[in-house]
Amino acid sequence: MTSYDQRDDMLECFCKNTNIKHYYYPINRCIYYYPFDTKESGMNKNHYMFDHFLKNGKLGWNTERSLNEMNDRRIKNELSQYIIEENKQIERNKQLPIEYQPLLPDDYDWYEYHSKTLIVNNKSLIYYVNKYTNKVSWKHPTTGKTNLPGGFENPSAFGF
């Protein structure tokens, strides 16, 4: 697991007024230089905001590039952990009990279909399609319950 880096919440400044990489931290509206001198706590107190304007008049961190780089840093650091948590949640959901609903009569207004891609405990999950409107539902037309583990109303709520 990666450790938190405060720069993941900062916007890099591209003003080119210094050779030192620096970032704008929107929460406290300060500029931090990396690597930084510990006695300054990473902030140059004599460096003002107007020193960071680009030729087009925008602030050096108020650019699409800066926002994209911040988002890329966050994705690299947080996505792997998020995927692990999502997989754990799906595995927990697969262990929930399934209450299978009764079969529909042949003369009913709904067809019963078995999903080819959503399979839990070696059984495909069941959804229903209206014969006249082609409306798809995961809820049984008469009981109002689903065949999804834990009684979830749709596959996205279940974690698929």
pTM above 0.75, yes or no: no
Question: What are the pLDDT digits (tens) for 115-146?
Answer: 888 777 777 888 999 999 999 998 999 898 88
Q: Higher confidence at residue 92 or residue 41?
A: 92
pLDDT of residue 2: 53
> In angstroms, rounded to a whole number, what is the distance separating the alpha carbons of residues 98 and 138?
13
Confidence at residue 47, expressed as pLDDT on a 0 to 100 scale: 54
Q: What is the pLDDT of residue 39?
A: 45
68-86: pLDDT as tens digits: 887 777 777 777 777 777 7
Say if CB 53 and CB 47 are below 8 A apart.
Answer: no
Specify the 3-state DSSP secondary structure of 54: coil
With cut-offs at 50, 70 and 90, classify the pLDDT of residue 97. confident
> pLDDT grade, residue 9 (50/70/90)?
confident
- If phi over 0 gives left and psi between -120 and 50 gives alpha, with beta otherwise, what is residue 42? left
Q: Are 51 and 31 in contact (CB under 8 A)?
A: no
Instruction: Give the least confident one: 17-26, 36-45, 51-60.
Output: 36-45
Who has greater pLDDT, 25 or 137? 137
